[in-house]
Amino acid sequence: MENSQVKVKMKHGGEFIIELYPEYAPATVENFLKLVNSNFYNGLTFHRIVDGFMAQGGDPEGTGMGGSDETIKGEFASNGFTQNKLSHTRGVISMARSMMKDSASSQFFICYDDKCSFLDGDYAAFGKVIEGMEVVDAFLDGEFRFNSMGERAVPIEPVVIDTMVQIK
């Protein structure tokens, strides 16, 4: 059986394709596809973009504090879920969460670098950008201001998802 794929079209041009890996995080993939197919992500932004680390989006508030109506169980080793062996390398997509392990809902991030592997076992990696990673890299091209954590991470010009559509 082929893995599901999602095409992400950006408002200012460009698109990329994410392939999802339910063998690593089945509930996470199911939740993500449910949100994609309900048009939840359309019009939302990548609100936190950190060079050499990751681009984070999927927050309806655009602040890093919001999410969807439901949370899901964290599918990663430190939460007792051992089948997720997907490493946080360049292009891998994973669920963002608060300090609470079962707090993920709609926010996700895409790794820019293989050095994100320090997140392995503590965050639910569930897919990978398989086409168009140069579009994700281009998120870094704009001007940024500092966030409350002292990161140069908040784009001055919003990086907006036009549509996310399941294509497989």
- For residue 146, the surrounding DSSP H or E stretch is strand 144-146
Residue type, 128: K
Asked whether 60 and 69 are in contact (CB, 8 A), the reply is no
Question: What is the per-residue pLDDT across 32-65, written as a single tens digit (0 to 9) for each?
Answer: 999 999 999 999 999 999 999 999 999 999 999 9
pTM of full prediction above 0.85: yes
Question: What is the per-residue pLDDT across 90-107, written as a single tens digit (0 to 9) for each?
Answer: 999 999 999 999 999 999
Question: Which residues, 6 or more positions from 56, have their beta carbon under 8 angstroms from its beta carbon?
Answer: 46, 47, 48, 49, 64, 96, 107, 108, 109
What domains can you pick out in the chain, each with its CATH number? 5-166 (2.40.100.10)
